[in-house]
Each structure stands twice: as structure tokens, then as C-alpha cells.
Copies of this chain bind each other. A is one copy, B any other.
């Protein structure tokens, strides 16, 4: 119908021109989301939600394989419960949505819409846990949470978002620490192997830890604009919540003890990470493991061969529909060129073109989204090649992201170097830091870079002079500007 193929892509600002605008254009244009008529809230459209469903399925399997069960706790938290843990309320009170009326009546106590569920879950755990026999409690929930954000950005920071939050209870400190690190490891495995996003894991500083936690660990990813994104957190809560919510158990030694807890979560912000790590000027590049459509078949229809071409395309769907997420675009009102652009923009990992010439030659033309490489595949090779191409694409996306991160990780020895690198090159900057909040704060104020994490030492821990104050025996940490 003569639609101009090139117009399509023009509606998205090229990534190389303006990363931020590219992101905003892309999430709308590819129908991942749309803005809702509530400040800072979004509708996640089917194409975006299908990515989340794939993430949920792959992560839920891991959460269950490590012995956790899902449950569901109330959306509302009585204000007095949220206020029990001092640091927790200080961290979250300024950003909560508050329900004051229910069924046309003013409530006796205001209800907080959960920004996270420690308070409500701990109030239940206090009822459920009496004896060492009741431990460990290993529960996870998938739900929505609300944090009233001033500056919002689709997927990365919205007033309401979807996430999972694990909440576990243990009889010893050691077991809680082990759980905290185990789940951080689960997140790293999930994000690297399913989302093809390489991450650094480590400990958050006191300033950056979760409000109410003893220690927070995180996985940190580097976006293609050189900014970091916290992709998941795992908290050792110590006995902070157990003490104020009175979660006590009678131990084997007949002593009544406060329990040890953890919590950990990842959210729909991971969709933002996937976009910003893998996307390019032509649009999304989705890792096959989480792509809603892994293979898109585009029949190249000419007048003479229409039925034969369509039959072959339909056969591909029936041959591979059970093992791959494969679809066909047989819309008559769009040209093949338009479709190529659309599915490239939507990040489908592999495109198969079936035209009269492919039929004659007994195969299909395949185009990889990650490399743009075009190849002819004979029909007989499809059953082996399609899955292995998808594996290749998944691995290549990870490799490209890791190479990018390595190129954009600098090591600096002085504060001047740190400032310059953050300003000019961005990326992760490794530098020694003494552990003092004052140095951290002053560096942040001047450079807008925060300490993303104190990485787990590989082999012997290297120490040196704090890049800011010069103190000896400082640890190597990762600085970056972050989302």
C-alpha cells in the first residue's frame, strides 16, 4: 500500500544522538508501555508485559528451586506498623501514598500503600513463628508496590511498579547471611544468563543500604550511556525487624531468641536495563531467553506465488511453534520493508524471510538482529540451526555488553582523575575509598557519582590510599553516576 518504509524508524530519536530521548521514544513506539492518567504511573502494554512474564517464569523457577514458596500479603499497611522500625520509616515515609478513606468513611488509622512489605510481613511472621521447628521461613511474593516519586521514567522509576520481594527468617546470623548471599547469586545468575546483562556484585555502603537493613548487597549493571543501574538488591536485616516486631522463637536449647531475617527483590526496572544495555539506533535488541517473539516469519508475497509462500510460512509456525516463540507477520497492508523495520525496532532476535526465490532454493533467508548478518538456511538445517542461532545471539549480546563494560571501566588513583573520568568518559570508575561517609558524600556532591558497591574481593584484597582523603588501607570500590 505504498507506506514509506523509512518513515517508521524516523519516529525514534537515534540512540547516538540523544540517549535519553531515544529511550523515551523507543518504549512508547515499540508499545512496551504508555503513560497513564495518574502522575508517574504507566500502563505496561502486552509486548512489555510479555517480557516481564518471561522474566517472572525464569526467576520464579530459581526462587522455588532454592526452597522458597510464594504467598501474598496485604497491599495496605497500618501507619503505626510502618513506624515501628526507625530507619525503615525514615527511609520510606516521605514517599508513601496514603489511604485515608474507605467505603465513604474516614479511617480511624491511615493506611500506607506498601512501598515494600517488611512491616506487614513481619507482623504476620510474629504470629507464625514460635519454635525453631518453624524455621527457616522462606517466602516470596510477586506484587505491585507504590513509591511516590518526584522524577519518574518508564520502567526505571515509576510511582507504582511490579516486583518480587523475598522475606526469610532464620535461627542464626550465619544462616541469614548465607541466604542473603545465595539470593544475590541467584539474581546474578538470572540477570546474566537470561537477560544477557553482566553485573558486578558487592556490598552497598552504609549510606546506600536499604532503610532498616544491617547490610545490603546489590548487583550493578552498566548502561550503554555509561550510567550504572542497580539491578537487584539482597538485604541482611539482622535482628532489626525481629526486635521491633517481636519475632522470637524457642530454640533447641530452650532459650527464647530473636530471629534473623533477610529480604531481597528485583523489579520491572529490569526491563529498562535490558533496553539500555542492548538497544541500538534501530531499536530494541531483546535477548532470546526473554523475547516475547524469538523468531518472526515475514512472507514475501508476490502475486503469482502468494499461496505457496503463505503455506510455507504457516508450516514454519507449525513445525517450530512448540519449541520456539515464533510468529508470522502476514498483514497485507504493510510492505516487507516496513515489517523488517518494525520487528527490528521491536527487537525480535531472528527474522526469517520466505519469498518465491527462497522456495525455489528450498530454504529461508534468516537475519540476525544482533549483528544484522543475513544468511540462507536450507529447510533441512532449520531444526538444528534455529535453536543454536538463538543461543548464539543470546551469548553474543552478553559478550558485547561485557566488552562494553570492560572498555568503560576505568581505574583511577587520584581524585582529579576520578572527576575527569566521571565527567568525560563516564562508566564504572574503580578507586580506593577509606570507608568514611564524609568522603563518599563530598565525592557525590561534586561529581554526582555514587559508590555503586564494594565488590567481593577476587583473591587477596587490594588496598591503597583513599582517592579523596588519602587514608591508607582503603578498599577498591566502584563509582558511577547512576539511574
Contact = CB atoms under 8 A, between A and B. Distances in A.
B123 A97 contact: no
A160 B150 CA distance: 27
Interface string A402-429: 0000000000000000000000000000
A128 interface: yes
A290 interface: no
A50 B72 CA distance: 10
B143 A78 contact: no
Interface residues of A, number: 58
Contacts of A111: 38, 97
A70 B49 contact: yes
A162 interface: yes
Interface in A113-148: 113, 120, 123-124, 127-128, 133, 139, 143-144, 146, 148
Given A69-B50, A97-B101, A101-B100, A38 B144 contact: no
Interface string A64-106: 0000011111111110010000000000011111111111100
A44 interface: yes
Interface string A316-338: 00000000000000000100000
A41 interface: yes
A226 to B, nearest CB: 30
Q: How many copies does the complex hold?
A: 2
Given A37-B78, A76-B160, A124-B36, A103 B148 contact: yes
A77 B38 contact: yes
Interface in A26-63: 34, 36-39, 41-46, 48-50, 52-53
A124 B37 CA distance: 8
Contact of A53 (B36, B46, B70): B70
Contact of A74 (B38, B48, B133): B38
Contact of A102 (B37, B44, B98, B102): B98
Given A95-B103, A100-B100, A70 B43 contact: no
Closest 9 CB pairs of A and B: A103-B148, A46-B69, A41-B74, A98-B101, A102-B148, A44-B72, A36-B74, A97-B102, A100-B100
